[in-house]
Structures are given as structure tokens and as C-alpha cells.
Amino acid sequence: MTTHLQPRVSELLLRNVPLFSMLTQAQYTLLTGVVQRRSFPRGTRIIRAGEPTSSLYVIMSGRMQVVVQDGKGREVILAILRPGDFFGEMGLIDEQPRSASVVAREACELLTLAKQDLQAVLETNFDLTMTVARGLVKRLREADARIGSLALLDVYGRVAQALLHESEMVEGERIVSGHLSRIDIAKMIGASREMVTRVVKDLERRGLIEVRGTDIVLRDRLFAHSDCFL
């Protein structure tokens, strides 16, 4: 794994990280000595499924994808993580090996906190413990929603749901940026790239989305129709 270790992190940096925003002064002092700041190039596999758990990771910049392989060896994207998100906490709590791999979709910068240091802080900070617990619950809810969509929605519904989930507000418009390819969508919803391409073209023809270069702009009508692709 190619990585570049950065200088020791500052207390100001930690205070601006949502996960660490509720710490005490003593805990900030502790973490500035143990949190590491690392940069990784695009394509780096940060953690691998099946490996023992050793650290918590917080994304400072760049996007990551959480992936597993299905029974036929094909890659399935479970989630796309953004700056401010954290990962690796599940194995730190249940002491089990990594359940999925996490890969850098683009050059990224992460904060890493070793297992024993995280546990030392969790034992003395209820708010941080609850934040980590809420993160776990959020992932479980998203997993439930994903399973439900795969079981109940047709390909149109699954594409629409993926677009809605991955969209961001940019200057008053809800946009799926070009970082999400047709192949990515296919890996997220369990369909072929060709089928996703056909659905995207049809959604554009119906005026529910606008393909603008590599970006996809979601129209209000898509929200109105998102529950109707059954």
C-alpha cells in the first residue's frame, strides 16, 4: 500500500472533525499524540475484507467505496463515503475481521486512530461512544434499505434510488457528479452496465433527469416518480 505519513495533527484540526468535535481538552491532548494523518493515491485498497481490525479511519478529503465480492467474484459497491465519514469502527467493537474492503476512488487524505487509543477515549466519553454507535445504526439502516430495494424495486426504481442517494445540492440543483459512472451504478444495484445505460437514457428522454457532460441533474419530477418504479 502506497501511503504518505503527514506531520502530527493539531488540536484545531481535530476540533473541526465532526467525529471528534465533542472531546474534552484532555482527550484532544491525548489524540494529537496518537492520531496519524495519511494520504493515499487513487485505487489504494485501504482495508481488505477478512483482515484483522486495527484502526478507525476518518476521511478528510476524497471519496472511498466500500466493496464486497458476490458469489461469482463480481465486485459489489455497498456504499460511497465522503469527507467527514468514518469507517473501520465495526470490527473495533465486535472484534471480528473486516467485513468489507474500502478502496480510494480518488486521491484521499485520512486520519487514522489505532484500536487501543480509540477504546481509551470511548471509555471516558459517552458522546463519542454514541456518535460511533449512531454511525453503526446508520449503516445498518442503509443496508436494510438496500436489501429492500433489491427485493422490491425493478431496475428503474433501483437506478432512481441510487441517483437520489448519491446526489448533492450544487447551486440550487441536485446533481450526481461525474465521479459516479454507469459501471458504479450497476455495481450498486445488481444490474448490467448496459441496462443502467438504457435506464438513464430513458429517464432523460422522459425529462426526469438531465445528462450534462459527465454530471446528471435530477429534476423534481424524478422525486415525484421515485416511488412508482415498481
- pTM, two decimals, is 0.77
CATH code for the domain in which residue 106 is found = 2.60.120.10
Q: What is the pLDDT of residue 223?
A: 65
Q: What is the pLDDT of residue 230?
A: 43
Residue 19 belongs to some domain of the structure: yes
Q: What is the pLDDT of residue 90?
A: 80
State the 10-residue block means of pLDDT for the chain, 230 residues long: 63 88 85 90 93 90 90 84 89 80 95 88 83 80 69 80 89 88 91 92 92 90 58
Number of domains in the chain: 2
Give CA–CA dist 200/9, Å, rounded.
44
Which domain does 176 fall in, by range?
153-225
Contact assessment for residue 51 and residue 88, using Cβ atoms and an 8 Å cutoff: no
Are both 185 and 115 inside the same structural domain?
no
Among 118, 150, 182, the domain-final residue is 150
Give CA–CA dist 211/197, Å, rounded.
12
Contact assessment for residue 81 and residue 60, using Cβ atoms and an 8 Å cutoff: no
User: From the centroid of its chain, how far is CA 51?
Assistant: 19
Residue 230 belongs to some domain of the structure: no
Q: What is the pLDDT of residue 26?
A: 86
User: Which residues lie across from 174 on neighbouring strands?
Assistant: 169, 218
Q: Please name the residue that has the C-alpha cell 422525486.
A: 223
